[in-house]
Amino acid sequence: MSQEQSGRLETLGQAAREAAYQLATTSTADKNRALAAIADELEAQVSTILAANALDIDAARAGGMGEAMLDRLLLTESRLAGIISDVRKVITLDDPVGIEEGSRVLENGLRLAKRRVPIGVIGVIYEARPNVTIDIASLCLKTGNASILRGGRETFHSNLALVQVIQNALEKSGLPAASVQYIDNPDRALVGELLRLDRYVDMIIPRGGAGLHKMCKEQSTIPVIIGGFGISHIFVDESADQARAIEVIDNAKVQRPSACNALDTLLVHEQIASEFLPKLVARMNQRQVALVADETALPYLQGAAQLRAAGGEDFDTEWLSLTLGVRLVRDVNAALAHMREHNAGHSDAILTHDLRSAERFVNGAGSAAVYVNASTRFTDGGQFGLGAEVAVSTQMLHARGPMGLMELTSYKWVGQADYLIRT
Of residues 396 and 283, more confidently modeled: 283
Crossing angle for the helix pair 156-173 and 28-44, nearest 10 degrees? 130
Residue 370, pLDDT > 80, answer yes
Quote the DSSP letter at residue 261: T
Rounded distance, CA 268 to CA 313, Å? 19
Residue 283, pLDDT > 70, answer yes
**H-helix or E-strand containing 169?**
helix 156-173
pLDDT above 90: percentage of residues in the chain: 71
At CA 21, angle to CA 18 and CA 24, rounded to 5? Answer: 145
pLDDT digits (tens, 9 = 90+) for 386-411: 766 777 777 666 777 777 898 899 99
The answer to which of 128-142, 219-233, 245-259, 312-326 has the lowest mean pLDDT is 219-233
Residue 250, pLDDT > 80, answer yes
pLDDT of residue 3: 58
Q: Which residues of 98-123 are buried (b: 16+ CB within 10 A; e: fewer)?
A: eeeeeeeeeeeeeeebebbbbbbbbb
Residue 333, pLDDT > 80, answer yes
If you average pLDDT over residues 292-316, what whole number do you get? 93
Report H helices in 178-241: 189-195, 210-219
Contact criterion met (CB below 8 Å) for 159 and 51: no
Q: In what order do the strands lie in the sheet with 121-126?
A: 180-182, 146-150, 121-126, 203-207
Phi-psi region of 137 (alpha: psi -120 to 50; beta: other; left: phi over 0): alpha
Residue 229, pLDDT > 80, answer no
Residue 29, pLDDT > 60, answer yes
Largest CA distance in the chain: 81
Name beta bridge partners: 203: 122
pLDDT of residue 78: 95
Residue 1, pLDDT > 70, answer no
pLDDT digits (tens, 9 = 90+) for 85-139: 989 999 999 999 999 998 999 999 999 999 999 999 999 998 778 888 998 899 9
pTM score: 0.79
Mean pLDDT score across all residues of the chain: 91
At CA 220, angle to CA 217 and CA 226, rounded to 5? Answer: 40
If you average pLDDT over residues 43-61, what whole number do you get? 96
Residue 208, pLDDT > 80, answer no
Residue 6, pLDDT > 70, answer no
pLDDT digits (tens, 9 = 90+) for 154-164: 999 999 999 99
Three-state SS at 403: coil
Q: What is the dihedral of CA 341, 342, 346, 349, to 10 degrees?
A: -80
pLDDT of residue 2: 56
pLDDT of residue 4: 60
